């Protein structure tokens, strides 16, 4: 492997303005470092095969600080940061990820969360300390974790994961219990033949699995199990957390403690203490117990009531290593037992609401998933209100675009979401509280006569219009819940006339003339069937209206009425539109 550093030069940052606590150690902090060194000395002596513990590191001023004192619990006054998901999302979006200089060892420095917030960048330990500080301030039982994880977790490689926006919720099948069940006797079969069939089936499956493994087996990562990573542990109990879980600070996503991406834990800490994991991690974190009161599974740095090591051999080893002078053994143990963790040397975390709104480090964040790319922007970063864009590809190389989804905010036309299918060239816009109560608009082009489908919030419209489908020559409207029982209206358009006035049209030659209007009605049970109109057709070309009624149970053909437009005049000279001569009925 190659050890590599960050492009950002941390050595050039200005530390002159930092408080004195950043530049020196108090007497209590020095004592804490001494205790930590004694703890590390005895631990290394008792467990020589274990890797060195990450107990203290240099801060931005080059001063060694114990890791627990770098955690600065701070409650945030914003509702967006009240829950763990909001805090985790903010940290993952606000900071730029830097890899560890050497992937198999912890960092030699651990800067304050205030400096990390200022420069908006850091490694996994910086992310975890900041997130843990916010979570403890919000009332969670949170801890920083020093452990090991997969290459994908450590390097923030999500190209093998499905984008969360593309995951479909699992449908739970509803099984209807059968009240009566008839059991039929099965036909007699030879047990030997069944055994032979099962044996052949197993052999065929084994051969198929071996072939699939040979084809799909990825190359084993050379540093698997060695890559150091830091994340956050949230224990159940406080803030009504029902189950203990992990948070990956790079992504802000929660993980079950049995997740195979996390391969082991060396130690954990919060602002008040430090625990060393003594459990076997050969199976990752699947079988780990997180009962920190169990002194066998977790060795605590500053015991609350018990001694550092309960086992007598370990106690004797502690005496021999930490204090060669046997006469002061009891005094040393008593001093360590009564010692409290020093208060954090870090200044109070300050986050403005502007930083919460514009939380992306460079104004934009790009995440690559399997066959997908997700782009995020801060509000008002784009003039068109674009906040997120998801591009879905057909291939793993992400060269052929299949679909594009976009999310918007703060638009005057109330556009919230847009889906563009690059295969069919169809675009669908989804709206919020549109002034025309438009819910969705599907089209291939915004030009006229190219095909448009519009869906409306019919419950809020006076005409109960639910959907309208337009083409160059036709328009169909669908209605729901109308008092007149109308549910469909279909309109046919003719060719444009060159400067000629058509009946029923305006003189505007850009509009197509209406040829026919066909309306369909639901059954109105309050009327007899042969008096309830089922279909109404307005034929503009021959000035006629045709009504078709519903069928009675004993009828074969429906009743019809045809009205013909023929203007006549009565004796007084007034116009008559419908007469016996212009109305044809069929009963």
Radius of gyration of the chain (CA): 37
Q: What is the pLDDT of residue 210?
A: 66
Query: Mean pLDDT over residues 93-99, rounded?
Result: 93
Q: Are residues 397 and 296 in the same domain?
A: no
Residues in the chain: 587
> Has residue 142 got a pLDDT over 90?
yes
Categorize the per-residue pLDDT at 313 as very low, low, confident or very high, splitting at 50, 70 and 90: very low
CB 431 within 8 A of CB 451: no
Q: Residue 338: which residues within 8 A CB-CB, separation 6 or more?
A: none
> Has residue 502 got a pLDDT over 80?
no
> Has residue 311 got a pLDDT over 50?
no
Considering the chain, what is the average pLDDT of its residues? 85
pLDDT digits (tens, 9 = 90+) for 323-343: 444 444 445 455 555 688 999
Q: Are residues 144 and 271 in the same domain?
A: yes
In a domain, 108, yes or no: yes
pLDDT digits (tens, 9 = 90+) for 397-447: 999 999 999 999 999 999 999 999 999 999 999 999 888 899 999 999 888
Q: What is the pLDDT of residue 327?
A: 44
Position with higher pLDDT, 492 vs 11: 492
In a domain, 231, yes or no: yes
Categorize the per-residue pLDDT at 168 as very low, low, confident or very high, splitting at 50, 70 and 90: confident
Q: Which of 300, 332, 351 is the last residue of a domain?
A: 300
Q: Which of 273, 300, 327 is the last residue of a domain?
A: 300
In a domain, 355, yes or no: no
Categorize the per-residue pLDDT at 505 as very low, low, confident or very high, splitting at 50, 70 and 90: very low
Q: Range of 486's domain?
A: 393-496+512-584
CATH number of the domain to which 80 belongs = 3.10.620
Cα(134)–Cα(144) distance, integer angstroms: 12
pLDDT digits (tens, 9 = 90+) for 4-42: 444 688 888 999 999 999 999 999 999 999 999 999 999
Q: What is the pLDDT of residue 219?
A: 63
- Location of structure tokens 């990390």: 116
SS (H, E, C) 305-341: CCCCCCCHHHHHHHHHHHCCCHHHHHHHHHHHHHCCC
CB 540 within 8 A of CB 531: no
Position with higher pLDDT, 195 vs 79: 79
Q: Are residues 135 and 277 in the same domain?
A: yes
Categorize the per-residue pLDDT at 381 as very low, low, confident or very high, splitting at 50, 70 and 90: confident
> Has residue 178 got a pLDDT over 80?
no
Q: What is the pLDDT of residue 179?
A: 58
Cα(100)–Cα(215) distance, integer angstroms: 33
What is residue 204's DSSP assignment?
Answer: H
Domain count within the chain: 2
- To which H or E segment does residue 275 belong? strand 274-277
Q: What is the pLDDT of residue 321?
A: 42
Q: Which of 275, 300, 325 is the last residue of a domain?
A: 300
In a domain, 85, yes or no: yes
In a domain, 453, yes or no: yes
Q: What is the pLDDT of residue 580?
A: 57
Categorize the per-residue pLDDT at 180 as very low, low, confident or very high, splitting at 50, 70 and 90: low
Q: Are residues 400 and 296 in the same domain?
A: no
- Location of structure tokens 């030879």: 190
pLDDT digits (tens, 9 = 90+) for 395-411: 999 999 999 999 999 99
Categorize the per-residue pLDDT at 534 as very low, low, confident or very high, splitting at 50, 70 and 90: very high
CA diameter of the chain:
136
Query: Mean pLDDT over residues 463-469, rounded?
Result: 94
> Has residue 307 got a pLDDT over 80?
no
> Has residue 3 got a pLDDT over 70?
no
Categorize the per-residue pLDDT at 216 as very low, low, confident or very high, splitting at 50, 70 and 90: very low
In degrees and rounded to multiples of 5, residue 304 shows phi and psi of -85, -45
pLDDT digits (tens, 9 = 90+) for 231-288: 999 999 999 999 999 999 999 999 999 999 999 999 999 999 999 999 999 999 999 9
The two structure tokens encoding residue 489 = 């209206």
In a domain, 491, yes or no: yes
Question: Can you give the pTM of this predicted structure?
Answer: 0.75
**Which residues, listed in sequence order, are joined to residue 537 by a DSSP beta bridge?**
518, 546
């Amino acid at each position: 492997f190659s050890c590599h550093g960050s492009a950002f030069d941390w050595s050039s940052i200005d530390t002159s303005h930092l408080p004195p606590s950043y530049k020196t150690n108090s007497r209590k902090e020095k004592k804490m470092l001494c205790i930590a060194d004694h703890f590390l000395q005895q631990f290394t002596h008792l467990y020589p095969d274990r890797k060195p513990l990450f107990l203290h590191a240099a801060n931005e001023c080059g001063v060694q600080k114990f890791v627990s004192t770098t955690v600065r619990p701070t409650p945030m006054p914003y509702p967006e940061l009240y829950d763990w998901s909001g805090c985790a999302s903010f940290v993952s979006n606000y900071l730029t990820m830097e890899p560890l200089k050497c992937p198999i060892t912890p960092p030699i420095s651990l800067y304050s969360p205030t400096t990390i917030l200022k420069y908006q960048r850091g490694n996994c330990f910086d992310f975890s300390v900041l997130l843990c500080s916010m979570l403890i301030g919000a009332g969670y039982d949170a801890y920083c974790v020093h452990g090991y994880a997969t290459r994908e977790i450590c390097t923030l490689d999500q190209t093998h994961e499905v984008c969360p926006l593309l995951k479909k919720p699992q449908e739970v099948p509803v099984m209807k219990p059968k009240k009566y069940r008839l059991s039929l006797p099965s036909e007699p079969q030879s047990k030997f033949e069944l055994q032979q069939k099962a044996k052949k089936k197993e052999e065929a499956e084994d051969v198929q699995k071996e072939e699939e493994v040979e084809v799909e087996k990825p190359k084993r990562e050379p540093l698997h199990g060695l890559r150091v990573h830091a994340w956050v542990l949230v224990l159940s109990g406080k803030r009504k957390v029902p189950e203990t879980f992990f948070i990956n600070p790079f992504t802000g996503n929660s993980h079950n403690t049995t997740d195979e991406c996390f391969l082991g834990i060396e130690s954990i800490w919060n602002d008040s203490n430090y625990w060393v994991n003594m459990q076997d991690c050969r199976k990752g974190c699947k079988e780990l117990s997180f009962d920190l009161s169990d002194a066998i599974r977790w060795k605590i740095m500053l015991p609350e009531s018990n001694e550092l090591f309960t086992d007598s051999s370990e106690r004797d080893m502690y005496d021999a290593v930490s204090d060669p002078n046997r006469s002061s053994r009891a005094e040393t143990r008593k001093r360590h037992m009564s010692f409290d963790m020093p208060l954090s040397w870090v200044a109070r975390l300050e986050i403005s609401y502007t930083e919460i709104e514009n939380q992306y480090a460079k104004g934009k964040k790009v995440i690559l998933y399997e066959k997908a790319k997700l782009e995020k922007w801060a509000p008002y970063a784009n003039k068109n209100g674009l906040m997120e864009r998801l591009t879905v590809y057909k291939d793993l190389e992400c060269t052929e675009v299949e679909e594009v989804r976009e999310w918007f905010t703060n638009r005057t036309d109330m556009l919230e979401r847009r889906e563009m299918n690059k295969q069919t060239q169809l675009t669908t816009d989804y709206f919020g509280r549109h002034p025309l109560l438009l819910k969705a608009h599907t089209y291939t082009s915004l030009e006229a006569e190219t095909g448009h489908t519009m869906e409306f919030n019919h419950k809020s419209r006076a005409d109960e219009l639910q959907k309208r489908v337009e083409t160059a020559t036709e328009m169909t409207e669908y209605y729901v819940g109308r008092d007149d029982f109308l549910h469909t209206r279909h309109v046919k358009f003719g060719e444009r006339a060159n400067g000629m006035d058509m009946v029923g049209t305006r003189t505007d030659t850009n509009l197509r003339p209406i040829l026919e209007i066909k309306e369909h009605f639901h059954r109105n049970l309050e009327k007899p069937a042969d008096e309830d109109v089922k279909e109404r057709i307005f034929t503009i070309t021959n000035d006629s209206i045709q009504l078709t009624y519903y069928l009675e149970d004993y009828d074969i053909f429906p009743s019809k009425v045809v009205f013909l437009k023929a203007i006549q005049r009565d004796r007084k000279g007034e116009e008559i539109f419908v007469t016996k001569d212009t109305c044809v009925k069929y009963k």
